[in-house]
Amino acid sequence: METTFHLNANDLDANFLEALKKLFVGKDIVISVANEVDATEYLLSDANRKAALFKSMQEAESGPLISVNLNDYRAQ
């Protein structure tokens, strides 16, 4: 089983650890900790992604935009 938790470091407490222990009773577990990256921050962190983002924004602002009905593309 794999579970991902997204939370603030200030929310880590004994109750959280107890919940983990109950969720994975008797199992060996791996705990990996990483900073959560904001989607905008991620896009702006690379020159190519940043350029693609700004190009898309300019196209959206200058139009013309095409409206589509997603129901036309869903499997029957």
Over residues 9-63, the pLDDT tens digits come to 999 999 999 999 999 999 999 999 988 888 888 889 999 999 999 998 998 899 8
The pLDDT of residue 60 is: 87
Task: Please report which residue ranges of 2-64 form alpha helices under DSSP H.
Answer: 14-23, 39-44, 47-62
Q: Residue 76's pLDDT is what?
A: 60
Per-residue model confidence (pLDDT) at position 54: 92
Contact by Cβ (8 Å): 53, 44: yes
Is pTM, for the whole model, over 0.75? Answer: no
Distances (CA, A) of 72 to 47, 58, 67, 69: 35, 27, 12, 6
Has residue 73 got a pLDDT over 90? no
